[in-house]
A and B are shown apart, each in its own frame.
Chain A
Amino acid sequence: EVQLVESGGGLVQPGGSLRLSCAASGFPFSSFWMHWVRQVPGRGLVWVSRINIDGSGTTYADSVKGRFTISRDNAKNTLYLQMNSLRAEDTAVYYCARDHYGQATLWGQGTMVTVSS
């Protein structure tokens, strides 16, 4: 089955760190660029970051640049999002998604990140 499964979400204090993972299966993960997208419950989708097939190229939304790092391990079919210096406004459901020319064509179920003291 073609799917993406996120994990690693949870409650973290402001200023803390968290690493999200996204396990891919059912398709050639190493052949696809990948995204992270987030959504505050009840609000809209916001693009966070994108990575190319070998991890050598990454882009970020201005709101997370310098604090978040996207990476991947093609041997493990896994995408990561390292989130540092977390703020209350980073609280959201985080989705990983498979890319097709900048479009998110396959989505995981999401993992909730709550930044609160």
Chain B
Amino acid sequence: QSALTQPASVSGSPGQSITISCTGTSSDVGAYNYVSWYQQHPGKAPKLIIYDVTNRSSGISNRFSGSKSVNTASLTISGLQAEDEADYYCSSYTGRGTVFGGGTKLTV
């Protein structure tokens, strides 16, 4: 199972919006609405921010939103803040397991 494709890095200024893409195939992202996004700060465990494509995890700011079109999922962060600087990973159910994206480093 190949990893989902994410851009290696994105950047934005405080207050701006950014979008991170996550491209899979018709066997994973395109087949199931079980796509999630995780935020990971250096030295910390990943933290769930979006699940089931669009649902925010408990306590997550509404500045974070998720969407999907065919085989590509997207995470949008609006009103960028300094604390949003982190690595972001997507994942998708595949029918027999789970596949993650390669990760995107967000610089604010």
Contact = CB atoms under 8 A, between A and B. Distances in A.
A45 B46 contact: yes
B102 A35 contact: no
Interface in B80-108: 89, 91-94, 96-103
Given A47-B100, A103-B34, A105-B57, A95 B3 contact: no
* Interface footprint category on A: 20 to 34
A106 interface: yes
Contacts of B100: 37, 44-47
A60 B98 CA distance: 10
Contacts of A106: 48
B103 A45 contact: yes
Interface string B20-45: 00000000000010111010000001
Contacts of B36: 103-105
Given A44-B101, A102-B97, A107 B32 contact: no
* Interface footprint category on B: 20 to 34
B97 A104 contact: no
B103 A44 contact: yes
Interface in A10-38: 35, 37
Given A47-B99, A50-B98, A105 B48 contact: yes
A44 B3 contact: yes
B97 A47 contact: yes
A61 interface: yes
Interface in B40-83: 45-48, 51-52, 57
Interface of A: 35, 37, 44-47, 50, 59-62, 95, 100-110
6 closest A-B pairs by beta carbon, nearest first, are A102-B93, A103-B36, A47-B98, A44-B103, A45-B100, A101-B34
13 contacts: A35-B98, A44-B102, A45-B38, A45-B89, A95-B45, A100-B52, A101-B34, A102-B32, A102-B34, A102-B93, A102-B98, A103-B91, A104-B38
